């Protein structure tokens, strides 16, 4: 039982225009996390139109379809995220977002379309593999809390043996892929801290009260010194303060200062250490200065850690169908991805698909002008379909 990669490439070509049309529709009508009703409806309709059965909703707007091979075997899953970002689309293209302040600037419309193509191509080739592929579409990757834990709670991983997924990469040329063994992305935790003094004070006489601004700045500087001092310098970590609010007048020290940001690490131990130490710092500064300090760590996602055996399988399999020069091995990213939750429970593998073919498709993720080389849709579909079917046929 075998699927020819050459045949998959040819078949994916026939899906290309439909996938482009779907991707552009999603790009024009983006929806934020847990509100992706029209996005889900669009994909559901396409699946049903092509004879596939779709599950009941999971995590509100998520869902899956199971494609059964010719004979029983393992169950492997393939995940796509479907939500957009609260960002204004500034591209001058016919398919720019029609929803002000909401846009697909992280490529989830691309991921969603690739997953659709994978499901359809597997369905066409269901007599050529054993086992089952569960292709699922997850809401709210960009939110905190995100959609992956809810999808898991609703049963998307039930009986699943392994999970695969991809992310488009505007820094990788079209035709190339990026794979990595072990840690691929960092963990992510958001924090919100507020320093509350008994009252505001005159800027000329800070000694007469509690200076919430000074205390907040001390706290920020202490937090910035934690990485490599309480965590292993060989395991990257970074704390970034991204908002800082306090005061309205130039001669009044405010009684409240609030700031927020992120904690990112490359391993679960460093993640726990930094989160605990930030809480301890707040408690200590509160005691030293006689103020109230609230510290809320909102949670985010663990690091994506690719399974070693799946890495070996993917590396070997890609080497049979691609030029070795097209297979890259990227450095670890400190960006976050809630695909990591699936990897905490099942062997998982997440890879990058190059989508850059010039300046217009090389803007960074989350840029207001982000776009992808749509010609890579069909090749991404063929590659992922081949990997999934090969995994099932050899296991």
CATH among 3.30.70.100, 3.20.20.70, 3.30.70.360, 3.40.462.20 for 188-301: 3.30.70.360
Segment (H or E) for 278: helix 268-289
- Nearest CA to 168 out of 6, 23, 17 is that of 23
CATH among 3.30.450.40, 3.40.50.1100, 3.40.50.720, 3.40.630.10 for 5-185+303-394: 3.40.630.10
- Nearest CA to 126 out of 56, 65, 49 is that of 65
**Cα–Cα distance measured from residue 89 to residue 367, given in angstroms and rounded to the nearest whole number:** 9
**Cα–Cα distance measured from residue 338 to residue 303, given in angstroms and rounded to the nearest whole number:** 8
Q: What is the largest CA-CA distance in the chain?
A: 82
Tell me 36's DSSP state: -
- Structure tokens of 308? 């070693």
**Cα–Cα distance measured from residue 369 to residue 146, given in angstroms and rounded to the nearest whole number:** 24
DSSP count for the chain of H helices, then E strands: 9, 15
**Cα–Cα distance measured from residue 122 to residue 66, given in angstroms and rounded to the nearest whole number:** 10
From first to last of its 395 residues, what are the pLDDT tens digits of the chain? Answer: 789 999 999 999 999 999 999 999 999 999 999 999 999 999 999 999 999 999 999 999 999 999 999 999 999 999 999 999 999 999 999 999 999 999 999 999 999 999 999 999 999 999 999 999 999 999 999 998 999 999 999 999 999 999 999 999 999 999 999 999 999 999 999 999 999 999 999 999 999 999 999 999 999 999 999 999 999 999 999 999 999 999 999 999 999 999 999 999 999 999 999 999 999 999 999 999 999 999 999 878 999 999 999 999 999 999 999 999 999 999 999 999 999 999 999 999 999 999 999 999 999 999 999 999 999 999 999 999 999 999 999 99
**Start-end ranges of CATH 3.40.630.10 in the chain?**
5-185+303-394
At 362, is the secondary structure helix, strand, or coil?
A: coil
pLDDT in the model for residue 299:
79
pLDDT in the model for residue 353:
98
pLDDT in the model for residue 372:
98
**Start-end ranges of CATH 3.30.70.360 in the chain?**
188-301
pLDDT in the model for residue 201:
97
Question: In whole angstroms, how large is the CA radius of gyration of the chain?
Answer: 24
Q: Beta partners for 350? A: 165
């Amino acid at each position: 039982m075998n699927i020819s990669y050459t045949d998959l490439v040819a078949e994916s070509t026939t899906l290309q225009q439909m996938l482009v049309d779907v991707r552009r529709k999603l790009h024009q009508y983006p929806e934020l996390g847990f509100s992706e009703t029209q996005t889900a409806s669009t994909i559901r309709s396409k699946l049903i139109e092509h004879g596939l059965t779709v599950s009941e909703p999971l995590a509100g707007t998520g869902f899956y379809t199971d494609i059964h091979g010719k004979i029983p075997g393992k169950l492997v899953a393939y995940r796509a995220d479907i939500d957009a970002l609260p960002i204004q689309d500034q591209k001058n293209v016919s398919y720019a977002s029609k929803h002000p302040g909401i846009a697909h600037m992280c490529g989830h419309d691309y991921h969603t379309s690739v997953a659709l193509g994978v499901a359809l191509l597997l369905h066409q080739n269901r007599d050529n593999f054993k086992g089952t592929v569960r292709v699922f579409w997850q809401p709210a990757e960009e939110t905190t809390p995100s959609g992956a834990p809810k999808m898991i709670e609703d049963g998307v991983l039930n009986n699943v043996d392994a999970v695969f997924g991809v992310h488009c990469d505007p820094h990788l040329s079209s035709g190339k892929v990026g794979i990595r063994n072990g840690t691929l992305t960092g963990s992510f935790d958001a924090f919100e801290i507020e320093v509350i003094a008994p009252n505001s004070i005159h800027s000329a006489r800070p000694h007469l009260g509690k200076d919430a601004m000074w205390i907040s700045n001390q706290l920020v500087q202490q937090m910035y010194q934690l990485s490599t001092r309480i965590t292993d310098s060989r395991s990257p970590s970074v704390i970034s303060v991204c908002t800082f609010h306090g005061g309205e007048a130039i001669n009044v020290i405010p009684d409240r200062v609030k700031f927020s940001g992120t904690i990112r690490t490359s391993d679960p131990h460093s993640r726990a250490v930094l989160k605990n130490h930030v809480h301890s710092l707040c408690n200590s500064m509160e005691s030293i200065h006689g103020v109230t300090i609230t510290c809320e760590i909102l949670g985010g996602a663990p690091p994506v850690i690719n399974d070693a055996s799946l890495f070996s399988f993917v590396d070997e399999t890609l080497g049979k169908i691609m030029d070795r020069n097209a297979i890259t091995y990227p450095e670890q990213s400190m960006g976050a991805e809630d695909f990591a939750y699936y990897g905490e429970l099942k062997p998982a593998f997440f890879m990058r698909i190059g989508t850059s073919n010039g300046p217009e498709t090389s803007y960074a993720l989350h840029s207001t002008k982000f776009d992808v080389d749509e010609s890579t849709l069909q090749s991404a579909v063929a590659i992922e379909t081949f990997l999934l079917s090969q995994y099932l046929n050899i296991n």
